[in-house]
Amino acid sequence: MTMVFLNKEIRDGDNPDLTEERKTATFDTNKMAEVIYGSEKLARRRREISQAVSLIPELADSKPLPFLSRNEKILESTRKVTALNEHLPRLINMNDEDEAWHIHSEVIGFEGNPLALHHSLFIPPLVIQGSDEQHEKWLGRAKRREIIGCYAQTELGHGSNIRKLETTATYSLSTQEFILHTPTINALKWWPGALGKSSNHAVVVASLIIKEQNYGPHLFMVQIRDEQSHEPLPGIAVGDIGPKMAFNGADNGFLGFNNFRIPRGNLLNRHCNVEVDGTYVRPPHDKMNYAGMIRVRSRMAAEQGTFMAQALTIAVRYSAVRRQGFLENKSQEVKVLDYQTQQHRLFPAIARSYAFIFCGFETIQKYETLQNEMNSGNVSLMADLHALTSGIKSVVTYQTGEGIEQARMACGGHGYSMASYISEIYGCAIGGCTYEGENMVMLLQLARYLVKSVELAMRGKPGDLGPMVAYLAYPDIKVDLVTGPEAYVKMFQHISKRQSIKATEKFHRKMESGVSRDEAWNQCAVELTRASRLHTRLYIIETFIRRVDSIEDLSIKMVLTDLMNLHLNYELLDVASYALEDGFMSSTQMGFIKNQLYSSLEKIRPNAVSLVDSFQFSDLQLRSNLLNFLFQVLGRRDGHVYQNLFEWAKSSPLNQTEVLPSVTQYLKPMMEKAKL
Ligand SMILES: CCCCCCCCCCCCCCCCCCCCCCC/C=C/C(=O)SCCNC(=O)CCNC(=O)[C@H](O)C(C)(C)COP(=O)(O)OP(=O)(O)OC[C@H]1O[C@@H](n2cnc3c(N)ncnc32)[C@H](O)[C@@H]1OP(=O)(O)O
Ligand SMILES: Cc1cc2nc3c(=O)[nH]c(=O)nc-3n(C[C@H](O)[C@H](O)[C@H](O)COP(=O)(O)OP(=O)(O)OC[C@H]3O[C@@H](n4cnc5c(N)ncnc54)[C@H](O)[C@@H]3O)c2cc1C
């Protein structure tokens, strides 16, 4: 029997073009997977889980999803997630979030499902903001999936500016209840995933009002539907918001309250409280109620990195079996992966996927440290992590969107077909630019932090700068890029520092000229977001270097060094104008960076397929599975693309009949009429 994952993933019967690629690899893909996923155990568990899932037919799509209506998609995603629920205890360690995430993405893919938000946005705020008593009451039920929940914060009229949320939770002294109310159409909750038709509970974010004083956004546990009939409770209006760009297997919804009462104990009160007499007990940090958002953002680098990696796996494998045009040898057309332009399209994005995943591991760990500190009352790390994750979520989502789109174009016409699966990945991933804080808004949050840091440095207090921004006070010393990665970091530090200082000085000048602070901020906003992006890209580069430095296996270290060098040169080239502008970079250095970049592409070429194989996405996960060969097919591990594309097309509902009603009703009469 052929094993699912071999050293270089060579299997009998594969397309020989892919086999040839796998033979040229200089490293072991299993070992690389250990580096990607953080440990031998995690990488092995993923393979075991993929293998187990592939043997359970009911966990595969029963129909090609692109051919389904919205109702059918929701039915199918719900069928799969509930079937999965039955198998879960046997397949994964139920306390291991990584395993749970992996198995869900295997089975559900990118289309969404009614439980996706339950585990990522309903349970976490309950854990973070709920007291022990509240955990006792709801957490076990939620974890056992006796109840289904969502996170209802955004409203029709407000998403970014949550201080202005209009849904109110007014404390009634006489009944010791909160009265939830939606005063206007704009105040309807709008967007929460799985709210529309599936959830019976929601963590609702509403402005807390006590004795006519507004205490800002707070989190409340609210039952919205009857647990037996699933009908909305009296006083609640709830429904689906309609089809979206993607993620249509999930029911994002709206929610309105008509003076709906909940007990005082439903305010999630681990860190703040309203006492019986209406006394408000403040949390240890003003923005404590936003902590759940830091958690989600801290996971986005790794998440988006794997989204992009899936699109790249599809595009790189396909590029190795797609032959078109000639190079030197005119007797055989070349693999399109041999074109430098194709490599330039795909390889820097592979490097970014690795970089985002490595960076993601660090931010997830940082969040876990923050969480432990918060539990013991120390909130001093919140500001730093809020700034860092605000920048990272914005940069990685944008660059992931770019990378996936390049992957699509790299597949030519077939990339545009839903058979590639890339449009589904793109539609889901690109939502990340908006959800969990619109990117510009979040870049401006990081900019606040950078401006404050520059001000500290300007006031001669560099010692007060945290390690993340210490470079803002470093002197400018020219660097020789030939000396290696540290010189690239120094060059990037100079660029980032200069932009932060320029933006801050411009902001100060505006205010000195009499413009109000808010107006001055707005007039500098583009420059400020540029500073945030540069700072974040520098941070990502540094995490990449740290990770490569820590690797012991020589063959893995060598290929990752090639990938890291590609990343360094690509990133620096992309922002070179900032350093050319003040003469910190010479045109000779610019030429050096370009040459290094092209030589990195050549070095990576023989390892390209194995670099994406190392993510070890199963065919099921890429919707290119053998069990159901009718589904999306471009990223198949075995590379047999064309015959499966043909099968896919034949399965289109349009092809189930030779003459469509559109022809009999309209085209035929038109043609007949024309003959008269
Ligand atoms: C066993 C089984 C287990 C199963 C597990 C199953 C897993 C299932 C997985 C399924 C896998 C399937 C795979 C497919 C993958 C599909 C994935 C796609 C999923 C899509 C899901 C989308 C979910 C989306 C959810 C949301 O979007 S929720 C809503 C998010 N909303 C926002 O983010 C709003 C953004 N706005 C804000 O955060 C704030 O308004 C603001 C921060 C912008 C401003 O706030 P505010 O006005 O209050 O503050 P100021 O600007 O005035 O600043 C004042 C100071 O406060 C500081 N500040 C602000 N925020 C914070 C903070 N969070 N922490 C600390 N400090 C903060 C500022 O920095 C200011 O400080 P200063 O004054 O010193 O400068
Ligand atoms: C797929 C998806 C899933 C979602 N899931 C959930 C969920 O489960 N729960 C939930 O509560 N919400 C959810 N949301 C909502 C999401 O969190 C918000 O849409 C997001 O926070 C952006 O807010 P907004 O829609 O108000 O955008 P807006 O703020 O209206 O953005 C519009 C434009 O205005 C600009 N802008 C706004 N404010 C500023 C500013 N201060 N400075 C400069 N520019 C500004 C933005 O940059 C943007 O260009 C989801 C959204 C999506 C797309």
Domain termination residue (choose one: 609, 626, 655): 609
Looking at the structure, tell me whether residues 433 and 540 fall in a common domain: yes
Looking at the structure, tell me whether residues 278 and 316 fall in a common domain: no
Does 216 fall in a domain?
Answer: yes
pLDDT in tens, 305-324: 999 999 999 999 999 999 99
Asked whether the beta carbons of 352 and 403 are under 8 A apart, the reply is yes
pLDDT in tens, 494-509: 999 999 999 999 999 9
**Which of the 8 DSSP states describes residue 633?**
-
Q: Cα–Cα distance between 42 and 451 in angstroms, integer?
A: 40
Residue 231 is a catalytic residue: no
Does 473 fall in a domain?
Answer: no
Residue with the bigger pLDDT between 367 and 2: it is: 367
Q: How far is the CA of 40 from the centre of ligand 1 (A)?
A: 32
Does 138 fall in a domain?
Answer: no
Could you tell me which residues come within 8 angstroms of residue 601 by beta carbon, excluding any fewer than 6 positions away? 340, 343, 344, 347, 566
Tell which residue, 348, 338, 432, 429, has the closest CA to residue 389: 432
Tell which residue, 535, 572, 537, has the closest CA to residue 451: 535
Pocket of ligand 2 (CB under 6 A): 117, 121, 151-154, 158-160, 191-193, 247, 252, 431, 434-435, 437-438, 440-441, 444
C-alpha distances (whole Å) from 125 to each of 153, 255, 326, 421, 424 are: 12, 19, 57, 32, 28
Q: How far is the CA of 165 from the centre of ligand 1 (A)?
A: 14
Tell which residue, 106, 108, 187, has the closest CA to residue 153: 187
How many domains does the chain divide into? 3
Domain termination residue (choose one: 590, 609, 628): 609
Please give the ipTM for the structure prediction. Answer: 0.97
Domain carrying residue 273: 148-283
Looking at the structure, tell me whether residues 173 and 97 fall in a common domain: no
Does 469 fall in a domain?
Answer: no
How confident is the model at residue 4, as a pLDDT?
Answer: 40
Tell which residue, 62, 120, 3, 63, has the closest CA to residue 616: 3
Nearest-CA residue for ligand 2 atom 43 is 441
Looking at the structure, tell me whether residues 157 and 260 fall in a common domain: yes
Percent of the chain beyond pLDDT 90? 89
Q: Cα–Cα distance between 16 and 575 in angstroms, integer?
A: 40
Determine the angle formed by the axes of helices 439-458 and 485-512, rounding to 10 degrees.
90
Please choose from 101, 162, 397, 438 the residue to mutate so as to test ligand 1's pocket, defined by most ligand atoms within 8 A of CB: 162
Q: Cα–Cα distance between 595 and 5 in angstroms, integer?
A: 36
pTM exceeding 0.95: yes
Tokens of 472: 């803002």
How confident is the model at residue 6, as a pLDDT?
Answer: 42
**For position 250, which CATH number holds?**
2.40.110.10
Does 674 fall in a domain?
Answer: no
Looking at the structure, tell me whether residues 88 and 175 fall in a common domain: no
Q: What 3-state DSSP class applies to 171?
A: strand
Residue with the bigger pLDDT between 195 and 626: it is: 195
Does 546 fall in a domain?
Answer: yes
**For position 496, which CATH number holds?**
1.20.140.10
Please classify residue 175 by burial: count the beta carbons closer than 10 Å to its beta carbon, then call 0-12 exposed, 13-18 middle and 19+ buried. Answer: exposed
End-to-end CA distance of the chain: 67
Looking at the structure, tell me whether residues 420 and 493 fall in a common domain: yes
pLDDT in tens, 482-497: 999 999 999 999 999 9
- Name 196's bridge partners: none
Q: What 3-state DSSP class applies to 486?
A: helix
Nearest-CA residue for ligand 2 atom 26 is 159
For the CA atoms of 31, 37, 40, 44, the dihedral, rounded to the nearest 10 degrees, stands at: -90
- Name 217's bridge partners: 207
